Amino acid sequence: NAGVTQTPKFQVLKTGQSMTLQCAQDMNHNSMYWYRQDPGMGLRLIYYSASEGTTDKGEVPNGYNVSRLNKREFSLRLESAAPSQTSVYFCASSESGDSSYEQYFGPGTRLTVT
């Protein structure tokens, strides 16, 4: 089992460029999440998907869009990157959004926007 995988591991963008962060899990989990982590700020939820076919905003959704492509995959898109989006992005999954919040994280994507 690979667990949760993310691509790319590192990315540098110029302001205004777009990109999609990919996430996949092989644990047959129903729920998936996207977080960003900034120094001193902890993990902040961007978007989540409680189950295939549903997505909901988290604490900091502005500037991002998501797609739950199927049960395994959950992508995060930055349409027009801004320097404020420089961060480490983590994808996570859990068995269920209701009964089990034990989350398993991917290795992260380090994004720099210049």
With respect to another protein, which residue has the nearer C-beta, 22 or 105? 105
Q: Is the dihedral of CA 62, 68, 74, 75 positive or negative?
A: negative
d(CA 97, CA 27): 14
Question: Does 16 interact with another protein (rule: CB under 8 A)?
Answer: no
Question: Does 63 interact with another protein (rule: CB under 8 A)?
Answer: no
Least separation in angstroms between residue 83's CB and another protein is 21
Using alpha carbons, list the distances in angstroms from residue 69 to 12, 51, 55, 63, 100: 25, 11, 11, 20, 22
Q: What mask of x and - would describe binding to another protein in positions 74 to 113, judged by CB under 8 A?
A: ----------------x------xx--xxxxxxxx-----
**Per rule CB under 8 A, count of chain residues that contact another protein:** 19
Instruction: Tell which positions 25-54 bind another protein, by CB under 8 A.
Output: 35, 40-43, 45, 48
Q: Residue 64 phi/psi, 5° resolution?
A: -130, 155
Give the alpha-carbon dihedral of 78, 83, 84, 89, to 10 degrees.
50
Residues that bind another protein (CB under 8 A): 35, 40-43, 45, 48, 58, 90, 97-98, 101-108
